[in-house]
Amino acid sequence: MRVGVGYDVHAFGEGRRLVLGGVHIPYEKGLVGHSDADVVVHALTDALLGAAALGDLGTHFPETDPRWKDLDSLEFLRSAVGLLGERGYRVVNADITVIAQAPRLASHVLRMRQVLAPILNVDVDAVSVKATTPEGLGALGRGAGVAAFAVACIEVAHARSAPGA
């Protein structure tokens, strides 16, 4: 078993859709970033890459590369799961906490879990998504953006091939 931790934060901006956990959330602002700025998926992808000691989101998908401009972040997650599989790992479970003063996310949590689980190749009950507010404290508490923390557990699914084989 291996465990990885991921974190991401993005500021709100005008003229963007708000996407969290691969789900469009109706809101007057979206998150600003090179891709779709889905902090849930970014944090989860980093947790998975970290668990396998494969670097981070920026290593694999640098914001300086125009290929990733406005990309659906679920593509990053699919790629990370693929990298894990190539190295003989499979996802066991994931736990994600989203921090936002607004919008309220409770009614969207189940849908996020339903979107993420098949990409991770796990049952919905192996993906936890929770939302909390920063209680008005700091930039997030003033509604400046959204942050997410993720923890992921992976395990060896099959023996890896020998280097150079």
Ordered by start, the domain boundaries in the chain are: 2-156
Give residue 165's pLDDT: 40
Q: Are 19 and 148 in contact (CB under 8 A)?
A: no
Rounded average pLDDT per 10-residue block, the chain, 165 residues: 97 96 96 94 98 93 79 94 96 98 96 98 98 95 97 85 45
Confidence (pLDDT) at 61: 86
pLDDT at 19 (0 to 100): 97
CATH topology of domain 2-156: 60s Ribosomal Protein L30; Chain: A; (3.30.1330)
Give the angle 121-129-111 at the CA atoms, nearest 5°.
70
Strands of the chain (E only): list them.
Answer: 2-13, 19-20, 23-24, 30-31, 89-99, 127-132, 145-156
The model's pTM is 0.93
